[in-house]
């Protein structure tokens, strides 16, 4: 037996060689394997492949971390801790308060940006708008608006990854509000 139905069994064979098949699927596959030489060959090849892959890779020379890597990374991580944007649990209460202030700053930023786009380039109104706009403490600490935006874009990705929907939404808003500049 070696027909289109074998395709369906091949995925079971793959799980079978990983010893991840049980119950009715296992029974069904074992029954099929007794009758199907093609699938038995596939099983044999797959087992061989699964053994060969790490065996061959074992002879590859993988790079190892340079000497002092752990110390350097730890020092950098702790040094940059002051610029953390994802708060630790103990700092969450303070983080919320900072977040509200930052949200207000972001809203003001977005408003100023929208207004500026409506004004003729180089007009006194535009210059006034640029001078009068205060990006807030966060932007000042970041060093520049672009840096602040990039940090928020990164924070949005990290927060999404970590499942922090609220932070992700907030950071996306901050990053997106200025991204269209």
Nearest distance from C-beta of residue 146 to another protein, angstroms: 18
Does 81 participate in binding another protein (rule CB under 8 A)?
A: yes
Task: Using alpha carbons, select from 153, 156, 154 the residue that is nearest to residue 169.
Answer: 156
Binding part of the chain for another protein, among 84-92, 100-108, 126-134, 172-180 by CB under 8 A, reads 84-92
H helices present in 36-164, as ranges: 37-57, 69-79, 92-118, 124-132, 137-142, 145-162
The rounded distance, in Å, linking the Cα atoms of 1 and 76 is 62
The rounded distance, in Å, linking the Cα atoms of 34 and 39 is 9
Nearest distance from C-beta of residue 95 to another protein, angstroms: 11
From candidates 46, 119, 129, 153, binder to another protein by CB under 8 A: 46
> 153 and 123 in contact (C-beta within 8 Å)?
no
Interaction pattern, residues 156-175, with another protein; x per rule: CB under 8 A: -xx--xx-x-----------
**Could you give the dihedral angle defined by the CA atoms of residues 100, 105, 108 and 110, in that order, rounded to the nearest 10 degrees?**
-100
Within 17-36, which residues bind another protein (CB under 8 A)?
Answer: 18, 20
Distance of CA 145 to the CA centre of its chain: 23
How many residues in the shown chain lie near another protein by CB under 8 A? 48
Does 136 participate in binding another protein (rule CB under 8 A)?
A: no
- Which residues form the interface with another protein (CB under 8 A)? 10-11, 14-15, 18, 20, 45-46, 49-50, 52-54, 56-66, 69-78, 80-81, 84-90, 157-158, 161-162, 164
């Amino acid at each position: 037996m070696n027909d289109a139905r074998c395709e369906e069994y091949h995925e079971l064979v793959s799980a079978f060689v990983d010893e991840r098949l049980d119950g009715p699927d296992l029974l069904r596959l074992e029954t099929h394997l007794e009758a199907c030489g093609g699938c038995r060959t596939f099983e044999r090849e797959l087992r061989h492949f699964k053994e060969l892959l790490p065996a061959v890779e074992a002879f590859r020379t993988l790079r190892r971390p340079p000497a002092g890597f752990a110390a350097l990374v730890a020092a950098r991580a702790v040094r940059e801790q002051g610029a953390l944007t994802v708060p630790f649990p103990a700092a969450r209460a303070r983080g919320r308060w900072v977040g509200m202030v930052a949200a207000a700053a972001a809203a003001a930023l977005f408003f100023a940006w929208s207004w500026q786009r409506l004004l003729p380039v180089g007009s006194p109104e535009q210059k006034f708008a640029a001078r009068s706009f205060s990006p807030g403490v966060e932007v000042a600490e970041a060093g520049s608006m672009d840096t602040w935006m990039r940090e928020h874009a990164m924070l949005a990705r990290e927060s999404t990854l970590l499942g922090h929907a609220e932070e992700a939404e907030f950071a996306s808003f901050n990053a997106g509000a200025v991204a269209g500049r």
